[in-house]
Amino acid sequence: MFCSMPRDSRRLFTVQISVYFFLLFLSLSASLACCFSSSGKSFGRKMMKPSLLRSVHSALARGSSHLTRRGYGSESVPQRKVVILGAAGGIGQPLSLLMKLNPLVSSLALYDIAGTPGVAADISHINTRSEVAGYQGEEELGKALEGSDIVIIPAGVPRKPGMTRDDLFNINAGIVKNLCTAIAKYSPNALVNMISNPVNSTVPIAAEIFKKAGTYDEKRLFGVTTLDVVRAKTFYAGKAKVPVAEVNVPVVGGHAGITILPLFSQATPQGNLAEEEIKALTKRTQEGGTEVVEAKAGKGSATLSMAYAGAIFADACLKGLNGVPDVVECSFVQSTVTELPFFASKVRLGKNGVEEVLGLGHLSDYEKQGLESLKPELQSSIEKGIKFANQS
């Protein structure tokens, strides 16, 4: 067993065993000293405390578990290729880094119109599982996409002060259309995670492009709305004075302005917040992107938090593909939860992508009002995307 371990694992195991016996030797020495010296009696009592040996055993157990994961777990983890389209951009670079750190990724393909070789070379030096390749220019897009399990699209121009997500439409819609045409050709079975804004329109664009190509599968197309969930959790935890790691807040609707509807009535743990506090939290969640754009004074948008959110959702998709049960995240998908053709709600992920689109659950009166208010704007954004995709 020891000889079959990787070299690094054998070295770590040897060090841990040595430390264990060294501490054990100190304890036994102290015990013997206790028998021959009254001054050693106190020393022996301190060194022979049961907590010491428990700590040593605990450390060794943790180390053994770590060795098992490092030395023997990799063979059972499926090979998964993740592609990032727009990898050299403000979201793409930190997202590429985070995906390089994900142990579920075996192959990471980075694509952009320029700058990708440098990004790929940089993160390829990180000693994690995945192999990294950079692709640059339209002529290499097909090669980047081939054999992919998940394609993440953060490509496009960022928001600037005074811009709404819809202001980005004319530029980003064309980028998404071209990329999805390539996905349909080179990687029709991949899960597609759409980050490019406005998501309320770019997801319908992608759906129409895939339909034209005969490759559309509603279970494999996702609008990444995880950043809204991340913000809702953070803001709620701060107001309710609860540990943020324990917080869960579903966010439904869309991914822009009033179409973002956090369901704080379903938040856990319950914070017993007043209605005015709930309204303030809702507004801050809806305007979170604007808050960052203004704070950066025209020099950027929410690139880092979006990369984090994108990595969280991609990780959930990977777990679903690998058969991990009960993986649930909010996402903007084709839906029958409302009369709208696309809607963000909780989604159970599985080996084929969407396993189940979950319902909204019980809503407060304030949330019911918000739901009805968001529908016209969301419907308009969806129709705008469909119309664009069907233009010649």
Annotated active-site positions, please? Answer: 255
Nearest Cα residue to 227 out of 178, 262, 277, 272 = 262
For 156, how many CA atoms within 13 A lie in the half-sphere containing its CB?
A: 30
What's the alpha-carbon Rg for the chain, to the nearest Å?
26
Distance in Å from the first CA to the final CA of the chain:
63
3-state secondary structure of 379: helix
Distance CA 215, CA 286 (A): 34
DSSP state of 248: B
Strands 353-357 and 342-350: antiparallel
Torsion of CA 13, 18, 20, 22, to 10 degrees: -170
Q: Where are the beta strands (DSSP E) in the chain?
A: 81-85, 107-112, 131-136, 150-153, 191-194, 221-223, 251-253, 260-262, 327-334, 342-350, 353-357
Nearest Cα residue to 311 out of 134, 100, 167, 117 = 100
Give residue for tokens 């928001």. Answer: 159
User: What is the maximum span of the chain, computed from C-alpha positions, in angstroms?
Assistant: 95
CB 114 within 8 A of CB 87: no
* DSSP H/E element including 31: helix 7-36
Output the DSSP codes for 137-188: SGGGHHHHHTT-SEEEE--SPPP-TT--GGGGHHHHHHHHHHHHHHHHHH-T
3-state secondary structure of 269: coil
Distance CA 232, CA 282 (A): 8
CB 266 within 8 A of CB 390: no
